[in-house]
Amino acid sequence: MKNLWSDTCAEDFHAAPLSGEISADLVIIGGGFTGCSAALQAAGQGAKVVLLEAETIGYGGSGRNVGLANAGLWLPPDQVMAQMGQQAGIRLNAVLAEGPDRVYRLIERHDIQCEPVRNGTLHCAHSAAGMVDLQDRYQQQAVRKAPVRLLDIKDVLQAIGSKWFHGALRDQRAGTVQPLGYVKGLARAAAEQGAVIHEHSAVTGASHDRDWTITTTQGTVRAPALLVATNAYSKKFKGLQATPTTPVHFFQLATNPLPDRILADILPNNEGCWDTGLVMTSFRKDQAGRFILGAMGLPDALGIHRSWATRALARLFPQLAGQAFSHFWSGRIGMTTDHIPKIQNLGPNAYGVFGYSGRGISPGTVFGAACATALLSQNETDLPVAPIRGHQERLCTAKGLYYETGARLIHALAMRT
């Protein structure tokens, strides 16, 4: 199984494991969007920051992402307000609406090589009911004066090049990136600002006595502030509560680069797309002309998802029928029951951030920077959401199995007629 993003990443970042005892103003656990954004923000403020990554930067969901830099959450804004309360919901909606602006400003400022394209994204109606949902989402965004447009069947045929969809909601605030390039670029920029980053440095324990002491197999970091940014890839270690999420898997497949004569009518403006299906499907192109198809599900030995992808590719875009997939990879999404990201108090001057529910790029960038500032200043005023004392996700394993079983059943039957 080959990850396309690993094979095509233009950002070359490597760091040595932690060795010995060091001190910092802020220690971060996790080298994804959130952790690297936090490290860059803290270093830019002149703080001494140390980031520990158990594998390599972007090894988890950040390096396995679809690459859609969306505005807002998966939930429509009215539902965010209904679940959080009006004031808190208005704040989170407003902060995340500006998320893509922050992403693309960082890309430009630090010359991050991540194939950035900001031509919007398309939320595609897979059915008549899906179109009704998009009409409601459009109304909610239009009231907020967001730059969105509802596409009918004729418009969506021209925009996507497929007859399969009933319409789409275009959001001009959003765009696409090569996600591993983006997160490695954040790490490189943070290191250039003075952040100390260590890969292959899995945390084995944490304790607090005036300062936090974070241990790995080869070293120790002491710091007054701690940020745990491992999300769906959290691992238990002694002395610190794990951040709970329901694991949902998402796989992707990519073709070899295709000639212009084949791709000419498919996503001519290079938007990133996902649909309204209960078992969501995503699709996009990369800079080299590969077509990338993704969906919920865990790659399995029976080949159910790969077989579905072959059928789906031919049905959605007949001109791509028979094209072989050169890459097939997957990652985990950290899902919460209410689909609202969390900042959890883990102890004195310590946060755990988790639960993006499939929206990691923009929210992770925003939450990481905000948490770094709050921890260093000990002022929570500008956090996107209020920190919580505790959070429980019940029956996480059972829920994950439920999602996977549903994905396998739908993919076993779909696109056969």
pLDDT tens digits, 51-80: 999 999 999 999 999 999 999 998 999 999
pLDDT value at 385 more than 60: yes
- Give Cα separations from 201 to 35, 183, 194 (angstroms): 14, 18, 19
The pLDDT value recorded for residue 298 is 84
Q: Which residue has the higher pLDDT, 390 or 301?
A: 390
The verdict on residue 158 lying in a domain is no
pLDDT band at 405 (very low <50, low <70, confident <90, very high): confident
Q: Compute the distance between CA of residue 254 and CA of residue 205 in angstroms, rounded to an integer.
A: 39
pLDDT digits (tens, 9 = 90+) for 292-311: 999 998 877 568 888 999 99
Band (250; pLDDT cuts 50, 70, 90)? very high
Residue 131 lies in a domain: no
**Across the chain, what does the average pLDDT equal?**
94
Which token pair is 69? Answer: 């830099």
Cα radius of gyration (the chain): 21
What would the mean pLDDT of 254-277 be, rounded to a whole number? 95
Q: What is the pLDDT of residue 170?
A: 98
Q: What is the pTM of this model?
A: 0.96
User: Would the pLDDT of 2 be above 70?
Assistant: yes
In a domain, 168, yes or no: no
**Residue 354's domain is classified under what CATH number?**
3.50.50.60
Domain annotation covers residue 164: no
Residue listed under structure tokens 């985990």: 332
In a domain, 147, yes or no: no
Residue 138 within a domain: no
State the helix-helix crossing angle for 128-143 and 77-84, rounded to 10 degrees: 70
Whether pLDDT at 180 is above 80: yes
Task: For residue 83, tell me if it sits in a domain.
Answer: yes
Residue 106 maps to a domain: yes
The tally of domains found in the chain comes to 1
Q: Quote the distance between the C-alpha of residue 225 and its chain's center.
A: 25
The three-state (H, E, C) secondary structure of 212-264, written as one string? EEEEECCEEEEECEEEECCHHHCCCEECECCCCCEEEEEEEEEECCCCHHHHC
Domain membership of residue 213 as a residue range? 4-120+173-400+405-413
